[in-house]
Structure formats: structure tokens, C-alpha cells
Structure 1
Amino acid sequence: MASTTNVISSDRVEGTTVYNTAGDKLGSIDDLMIDKLSGQVRYAVLEFGGFLGIGTDRYPIPWNMLKYDTAQDGYVVPLDKATLEGAPRYATASIPDYDEPYTRSINKYYGF
């Protein structure tokens, strides 16, 4: 049965596959970063690279870049693997502070 609601639990977003516009699987959403003051999702953290979850990095992508595609049952971003490889990222064990300089670097990289 298809859902008729426009909201989704973060538990259901985490683990969702992310594709590029060519239909290539880029990775999956590992986490969501939520603005404490506005309550809006600011970034989806994409788990990308590595093999079987080993050696993967986390790539924060501005939430408004992701579009849900019901046909693929996943999110689509206008990025290719080469663009992601140069993007701001971090290892699982070293989550950065999402302070102003860090978020500015993410937004600048993606043209926001």
C-alpha cells in the first residue's frame, strides 16, 4: 500500500539508497543533520565509497539537493562519483562540528 502522507520518520530515511541522475547508485543516507533552531533538515549525510561498509566516508549533502524518486524508491542527486570524491567528507569516527565555517564550506562546494 502506497503512503499518502508527506512526512517520513528519520529511521526510514536512514539507509535509503541515493542515486545520481544517470541511475547509478552512489551510496545510502547514513544520518540527517537537523537545524536545532528551525527544526528543518539541513543535510543528508551520504555514506559513500569503501567496500561492504569498510573504508566508507560520510559526505554531507544539502537536503534540498535530494529529490525522492518513487520509481527507484530512493533519492536522486544531480552529482556524479567524481564530484562526490572532491566534496567535504569525514570518517565515521570523526564527526565534525557543523559550525559556521564547516557548513559554509559544504554550501560553497555545492554552490549554495
Structure 2
Amino acid sequence: MAISSSVISSERVEGTSVYNVAGDKLGTIDDLMIDKVSGQVRYAVLEFGGFLGMGTDRYPIPWNMLKYDTAQDGYVVPLDKTQLEAAPRYGQDAVPEYDDAYRTSVDKYYDF
């Protein structure tokens, strides 16, 4: 079965590198958060920080901010490391409820 090049399995998205516009690698996509009602991807959860996967935090980034770059074989976001470090985040074992208050805080930070 052929799959359109405009869609991708979530399995292939997870682990994909994320870069800023300067070409610096910020991290990798750890997870996707999908709206249960609409079925649309709301956030890509970026794994960033730590060392060798230890002590890394998860940063939900609005999916619409990510642009796929075929030359880098990864996603590009208009953020630098300083902006990302100040963004809403959580630990690997502390996934928050993506309730209205949490989503509002994430969207407000990214001005969505």
C-alpha cells in the first residue's frame, strides 16, 4: 500500500531532530499530543537538555510552529535555546494534564 508523501506515521516523527533557524540542533521529538475530538496534532513534545537522555525535560511546542526541512531531515522551529529553556516544560515521569489551563499557558508562551 502506497502512502502519500504528505503524511507520516507518528512512529517516524518520534525521534526526529528539531533545529532552530540557525541550524543548531535543539533536541528530538519525544511524543505527539493529539486532540481527541478533532484528531489534529496539537503539540510536538520536544526532548531537550540533559546528557545522554538523562535529566532531559519535555517541551510541548505547538505543532504549527514546526516546519519540516528535507535538507536537514528534521523539523525547524523559530526558537533559540534561551527561548526554549524558558518555555513550559515537564519531566519525563511528570506528564501534566493537558487541560485548558495548561494548554493556555503553552499557547500564551508561544503567542498562539
TM-score, with structure 2 as normaliser: 0.96
Residue 76 of structure 2 aligns to a residue in which SS?
strand
Distance of 1:99 and 1:13 partners within structure 2 = 24
1:48 lines up with 2:45 in the alignment: no
1:50-69 alignment runs, 5 A limit: 50-69=50-69
Distance of 1:26 and 1:48 partners within structure 2 = 6
Query: Paired residue for 1:32?
Result: 32
Report Cα offsets for 1:13-50 as digits up to 9, x if no partner: 00000000000000000000000000000000000000
The number of residues matched between the two structures is: 110
In structure 1, runs of 5+ residues without a counterpart are none
Residue 106 of structure 2 aligns to a residue in which SS?
helix
Report Cα offsets for 1:48-69 as digits up to 9, x if no partner: 0000000000000000000000
1:18 lines up with 2:18 in the alignment: yes
1:4 CA drift (Å): 5.5
Provide closer, same or farther for how the CA distance between residues 35 and 4 of structure 1 changes in structure 2, counting only shifts above 3 A. closer
Report Cα offsets for 1:52-99 as digits up to 9, x if no partner: 000000000000000000000000000000000000000010000000
Q: Which amino acid aligns with 1:95?
A: V
Distance of 1:20 and 1:56 partners within structure 2 = 18
In structure 2, runs of 5+ residues without a counterpart are none
Identity over the aligned pairs, expressed in percent? 76
The runs of at least 4 consecutive aligned structure 1 residues that moved more than 3 Å come to none
TM-score, with structure 1 as normaliser: 0.96
1:5 CA drift (Å): 1.5
